[in-house]
Amino acid sequence: MKRPQPSARDRLVTSTVTLLSRQGYEATGVKQITVEASAPMGSFYFHFPGGKEELALAALRQGADGVDMLLRETLSAATSPEESLADCALALADVLKRSDWLDGCPVAATALESIGRSPTLREAAADAFERWVTTIGDHLRTIGVADRQTRPLATTALALLEGAEMIARVRADPEPLHDAAASLRVLARDALR
């Protein structure tokens, strides 16, 4: 049975996810997206009449799905409750290293670029962060972290993963994510005491 080929629309979105994670929104041009997606320029205008911002919005949502899935899989596969947050940092170190530190968070660069410039993209970035905080928070509740602590700890865990990922990528070195894993172990132990 032949695998169904992804549509031009799907290819445009997927290529944009990759470009946003490598270089952010501002450096990513429509021309580059269509080349990477092997899609004609006409299909970009057809599927995204709102232009690059509309395509980026779809890409931020798809990118948010991908990270959410990585978080869920890693959290549910953890060997122990105390290790689950740390495992997310180690999983990120693995994934990032495989792309030679090029493919980072699909939201972070665009988030920082959008704050004073695009309310639409800023809101999509906030939604992505909120979704990941909710996923981590739900997991923390499951493993027995007190209700009043789940949201603050989930927010801190996400912030630490994002910051450590940025420093690791700039240095092309997993160490900051390993340091983050050690600190996440301390924070999980403290919250489970």
Residue number with CB closer to a second copy (37 or 188)? 188
> Please, what is the minimum distance in Å from the beta carbon of residue 158 to a second copy?
7
The whole-angstrom separation of Cα 128 and Cα 175 is 26
> Please, what is the minimum distance in Å from the beta carbon of residue 176 to a second copy?
5
Q: How far is CA 164 from CA 10, 53, 108, 180, in A?
A: 30, 28, 12, 7
Residue number with CB closer to a second copy (77 or 112)? 112
- Residues near a second copy (CB under 8 A): 22-24, 26-27, 101-102, 104, 108-109, 111-117, 122, 125-126, 129, 151-153, 155-156, 158-164, 166-167, 169-171, 175-176, 178-180, 182-183, 186-187, 190
> Taking a C-beta distance cutoff of 8 angstroms, is the pair 136, 158 a contact?
yes
Q: How far is CA 175 from CA 43, 86, 167, 168, in A?
A: 42, 13, 9, 7
Residue number with CB closer to a second copy (8 or 75)? 75
Residue number with CB closer to a second copy (8 or 168)? 168
Report the sign of the C-alpha dihedral through residues 125, 130, 135, 140, in that order: positive
> Please, what is the minimum distance in Å from the beta carbon of residue 133 to a second copy?
8
> Please, what is the minimum distance in Å from the beta carbon of residue 154 to a second copy?
9
Residue number with CB closer to a second copy (90 or 187)? 187
**Structure token digits, residue 94:** 């693995």
> Please, what is the minimum distance in Å from the beta carbon of residue 49 to a second copy?
23
How many C-beta atoms lie closer than 10 Å to residue 120's C-beta?
Answer: 15
The whole-angstrom separation of Cα 145 and Cα 164 is 23
